[in-house]
Amino acid sequence: MSSLLHYLDQGQGQPLVILHGLFGTLDNWQTLARRWATEADLRVISVDLRNHGRSFQSPEHSYDLMAQDVLALFDHLQLGPDTSLLGHSMGGKVAMRFALDYPDRLANLLVMDISPRFSDMQHQDDILAGLQAVPLATLEGRQQADEAMAVHIPHVGVRQFLLKNLYRRDDNSFVWRINLETLASSMAAVGEETTAVQPFLKPALFVRGGKSNYITAEDKLHSIPALFPNSQVETVVDAGHWLHAEKPEEVFQLVKAFVQQ
């Protein structure tokens, strides 16, 4: 099995690599990725992280390993130091880890709605319970999966997002694209604090949703500038954690302006 991450490469110009969040796939960013490729003249490389999407599955899931996976992709694609790296949520923590470990591989860093501090992952308990409640062995369709998840996950938008990970094999049986077993056992690692001996000195843009609490006023003052002294924090008003889905135009413009500056 290939240990190279699955990716989609489109457009020409300065490279922008995009890393999705927990339970996501590169598809979550496709609308914006296409626009950055066509309207901002960027080469946009959207990535499925390990244990997600069409990338390989592994019993190990840590930020050190995920940053190494991204490094292997940079080497494979021969990406130069003019590359921008963007990550959302868990992908944002992968991007931070990569920037801190391999700073000379990047021009700059963009982090969407996550801070370096420890995240208590208890808010994912209901999501895991919902995913685990889906009876894959006897599943006949998406509607049945949605009903099983609804017991634990009342928010229909969250269920629709998670159901994008469900696919039907040639023999008509259903499976998850995510490695649910590994992710469920790795929640503490997904929430862990980002630390480093040396800060990342190049430009960094942190974008927070105005209705999200993933980046706090305290993060803005302390945890972010401690590791990323050359950073700025922008707020997308009226957006929650899924700011790219809720306010795509604002996110499009912020990223375009930052990468091109």
Residues designated catalytic? 89, 241
Contacting residues for 166 by C-beta, under 8 A, at least 6 apart? 134, 142, 145, 174, 175, 176, 177
Contact yes or no for 46/39 (Cβ under 8 A): no
Distances (CA, A) of 90 to 103, 121, 191: 19, 11, 8
Structure tokens at 205: 């843009």
Structure tokens at 5: 């991450």
Nearest CA among 124, 113, 117, 123 for reference residue 214: 113
**Gyration radius of the chain's alpha carbons:** 18
**CA–CA dist 96, 116 (Å, integer):** 8
Cα dihedral sign for 74, 78, 80, 83? negative
Contact yes or no for 233/215 (Cβ under 8 A): yes
Structure tokens at 197: 């001996």
Contacting residues for 71 by C-beta, under 8 A, at least 6 apart? 98, 101, 102, 105
Q: How many residues does the chain have?
A: 261
